[in-house]
């Protein structure tokens, strides 16, 4: 399980993942500056979505391909 999470976090970065990460950072900075807890929770959710490559509808979830042995 840990190896799978490492693989998902490190590989297959797309524009959507970079965009979610950038938006999460911007929202986190704004939440920190304005002392908004709800905004901070939203930033954490976006950050975790970008790290694990899971969209809000799980449409971007990574499913590993099975290797052929022969």
pLDDT, tens digit, 9 for 90 and up, residues 29-51 = 999 999 999 999 999 999 988 88
Residue 59: per-residue pLDDT? 56
pTM of the model: 0.69
pLDDT of amino acid 23 = 93
- Scanning the structure block, which residue is given the tokens 């938006």? 23
Alpha helices in 1-70, H assignment, sequence order: 2-10, 15-34, 37-52
């Amino acid at each position: 399980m840990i190896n799978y999470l490492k693989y998902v976090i490190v590989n297959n970065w797309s524009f959507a993942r970079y965009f979610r990460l950038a938006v999460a950072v911007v929202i986190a900075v704004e939440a920190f500056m304005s002392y908004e807890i709800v905004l901070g929770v939203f930033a954490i959710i976006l950050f975790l979505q970008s790290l694990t490559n899971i969209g809000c509808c799980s449409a971007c979830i990574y499913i590993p391909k099975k290797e052929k042995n022969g």
